[in-house]
Amino acid sequence: MEEVNDKVTHNQCSMHINESGAQLTHEQIGPADAIPAVRQRIVREATRLFALKGYNGVSVREIVEAAGITRPTLYYYFPSKEQLFEHIIAETLGEFRSQLEQAVRSQGSLRERLIQICRVHLDFARCNADNCHLVHSVLFTNESKRVNFDLDEYFRQNMRMIADVLAEGMASGDIRSGDPWLMAMMFGGIIHMFIMAMMRDPAAVSQEGLAEIVVDNLLRGLGA
């Protein structure tokens, strides 16, 4: 009860996932819709552990121990381990989607918008390293089958949003004509690579000005 929701909240970063945000379909707790600290602890520790060892690598015993509770308490808040997992995934993806939409709709030159898109990715990954790690582990083991969420469609939509921005750039003459989808894949891939590097060693990637550098290099090209 004394220490509640720190540890994810980083310093200069305000886009972390707060469990108290708009929830996706789960039984509401109590008449006043405050979220119990215990439930938050469960989500936080489960996220951390799932990210570290994958779904099958973590037992509910481990989760409840980390959260300082017992198993029935976890099952009081979540119907199953699987749905706890699903909840975390859906919450993470939902939060990121909203951040990305904001970046895509941002005003400014094409370059600035691309920088904003890049920055949103990097910031989100930095502030929600565990969630980010978790989503990746879902993507690459086919535990995707486990989670009741069309991940392919989700990422296709994200790519489509970026491709649309690039297509606008072609219309305005900022981007040379070509296949917006292919270009979006390239842009997404580059961003992704730095996220991966950050996940494996946060200190190895200096966030300072990275988005600008990446976008400028991509626009100019590597050729002399």
Partner DNA sequence: CGCAACCTACCGAACAGTAGGTATATAAAC
Partner DNA sequence: GTTTATATACCTACTGTTCGGTAGGTTGCG
Contact residues toward its own copies (CB under 8 A) are: 51-57, 133, 136-137, 139-143, 152, 166, 173-176, 178, 182-183, 185-194, 196-197, 199-201, 213-214, 217-224
Contact 20, 43 (CB under 8 A): no
Q: Does 3 bind DNA (CB under 7 A)?
A: no
Contact 37, 1 (CB under 8 A): yes
Encoded tokens for 191? 């961003």
What does the alpha-carbon distance between residue 16 and residue 92 come to, in Å, rounded to a whole number? 9
Which CB, 29 or 210, lies closer to DNA? Answer: 29
Encoded tokens for 109? 């030159």
Task: In angstroms, give the least distance from the CB of 32 to DNA.
Answer: 10
By CB under 7 A, how many residues form the interface with DNA?
Answer: 20
Encoded tokens for 197? 């590097």
**Interactions with DNA, residue window 57-86 (CB under 7 A):** 58-62, 69-73, 75-76, 79-82
Could you tell which of its own copies, DNA, none binds residue 70, using a CB distance below 5 to 8 A set by kind? DNA
**Interactions with DNA, residue window 13-42 (CB under 7 A):** 29-30, 36, 38
Residue 156 host element (H or E): helix 151-172
DSSP class of residue 58 equals: -
What does the alpha-carbon distance between residue 61 and residue 208 come to, in Å, rounded to a whole number? 40
Could you tell which of its own copies, DNA, none binds residue 209, using a CB distance below 5 to 8 A set by kind? none
State the amino acid at position 193 in one-letter form. M
Could you tell which of DNA, its own copies, none binds residue 213, using a CB distance below 5 to 8 A set by kind? its own copies
Which CB, 65 or 174, lies closer to its own copies? Answer: 174
117 backbone dihedrals φ, ψ, rounded to 5°:
-60, -45
Site for DNA, rule CB under 7 A: 29-30, 36, 38, 58-62, 69-73, 75-76, 79-82
